[in-house]
Amino acid sequence: MDHFTYRDGVLCCEDVEAGALAEEFQTPLYVYSSGTLREHYRRLQAATAPLDATICFSVKSCHNLAILRLLKDCGASFDVVSGGELRRVLEIGAAPSSIVFAGVGKTDTEIAYALDVGIGWFNVESEAELVNLGSIAESRGVTARAALRVNPNVDPKTHVYTTTGKRETKFGVDLDRARKVFCDFDRRPGLDLSGIHLHIGSPVNTVEPYVEAITKTLALIDELSRLGHVVSAINIGGGFGAHYDGSEAPAASVYAERIVPLLKGRSLDVMLEPGRSTCANAGVLLTRVLYSKASGDRRFLIVDAAITDLLRPALYGAFHFAWPVAPAGRLVPPRRSGDLKLDGTGRVDIVGPVCESGDFLAKDRWLPPVERGDLISLFSTGAYGFVMSSQYNSRLRAAEVLVAGNRARLIRRRETYDDLVAPERV
């Protein structure tokens, strides 16, 4: 699952004690394990090998340059959703042709930037965007290779905010309209509409929604072929699960067992856009306890991390397992799940310093006794963790550290008060 383990009663990332990292780099601190990132990437690569699939790591899930570099060295291509993400992957020397650009609202500036550097694919979400993409490309004397994002109207059975393949969401074009779009845009100057893109939601912890969505899409591809439109590539998106509350995510091989037979033997280039399945379990957020206080029957641990560092609990009610880095009595958790209630533990809410009641990181958790100055680890925070951080309340964004074996490297320095005010010195 990952390389965060308790050894002699203290949390280690690979061969480095988490407490030593917090001492050296201060808190709040994101800590990532290189071994875990590589392992999750390689498992997906091995599982999809029969398709010779192109794995485009979804940069939105974790955008640190060092992590992108590590994944590029593993062979990853990249999925970006903004000019900023494009800039990040160019910064690490990714081949432009290995980049796919998704998103419902690409601006003209972003489109021009992506065309000028020569990215591989635009994942296009509407007829209006195709018109715009075609005309910008034509005006620059180039052809944009485009995949139409279809909305297969499949329920991924995940949080409503991260459900993206149902008709009522803003994403893609429904399958009936997709047929017409291929007819209308097949031979437009500036456009090579030759791919289909899907992304049904995240996390999708069962395989059936993928099977349903891919099956519907392949039927569309066959119909388009009968109508004379050649679709050369299918991008099945991301959304594969990670372990947050126990071991709830299917292994890469379990997804592949059902998905590979659907796609194998078809003359289609296959792409995937995994994010959280690669990086969620590869990161923890370390935070220090500032104060503890009681209110009615509740006990609050007020820590130095906040929703500005980890938004997911407040945004989605997301669960992140929390446990002290050096638990009293060496009470090591036998598993990381919300139903853990061991002898010697007490119920707490872990909250941050931000002036909002929504500023919580974990609620109703049974933890060993914790004192001011103790460290707590919030697990499985490698995806949609740091990337969603903000400066609300003029808080400084956390530092990030990458561990490999017994070595730890600062990969993003903690922000300073100068970083806060510099853009406003205009």
Q: Which residues bind ligand PLP (CB under 6 A)?
A: 58, 61, 79, 102, 199, 202-203, 237-240, 273-277, 383
Nearest to ligand PLP of 34, 82 (CB atom) = 82
**Residue 276 CB, nearest approach to ligand PLP (Å):** 4
- Chain centre to alpha carbon of residue 369: 33
Tell me the closest approach of the beta carbon of residue 165 to ligand PLP, in angstroms.
Answer: 10
| SS3 assignment, position 221 | helix
Q: Which residues pair with 124 in a beta bridge?
A: 148
CA nearest neighbour of 247 among 315, 334, 364: 334
Which residues are registered as beta bridge partners of 346? Answer: 367
| Exposed/middle/buried for residue 30 (C-beta within 10 Å: 0-12, 13-18, 19+) | buried
Distance of CA 301 to the CA centre of its chain: 28
Residue with the CB atom nearest ligand PLP in the bound state: 275
Judged by beta carbon, residue 120 or residue 203, the one nearer ligand PLP is 203
Q: Where are the alpha helices (DSSP H) in 171-227?
A: 175-185, 208-226
Between residues 210 and 323, which has the closer beta carbon with respect to ligand PLP? 210
Name residue, tokens 């925070």: 381
Q: Token digits for 381?
A: 């925070």
In degrees, rounded to 5, the angle at the alpha carbon of residue 153 between the alpha carbons of residues 165 and 382 is 20
Nearer to ligand PLP, 172 or 352 (CB): 172
If the CB atoms of residues 59 and 370 are measured against ligand PLP, the closer one turns out to be 59
Nearer to ligand PLP, 60 or 397 (CB): 60
CB of 195 to ligand PLP, least distance (A): 13
CA angle 33, 36, 37 (to 5 degrees): 90
State the minimum distance, in angstroms, from the CB of residue 122 to ligand PLP.
12
Q: Which of 13, 62, 279, 355 is catalytic?
A: 355
CB of 318 to ligand PLP, least distance (A): 12
- Report in angstroms how near the CB of residue 197 gets to ligand PLP at its nearest: 7
End-to-end CA distance of the chain: 47
Verify whether residue 12 is a known catalytic residue. no
Do the bridges between strand 99-101 and strand 77-80 make them parallel or antiparallel, or are there none, so unpaired?
parallel
Contact between 171 and 208 under an 8 Å Cβ cutoff? The reply is no
Q: Three-class SS of residue 410?
A: strand
Catalogue the active-site residues: 355
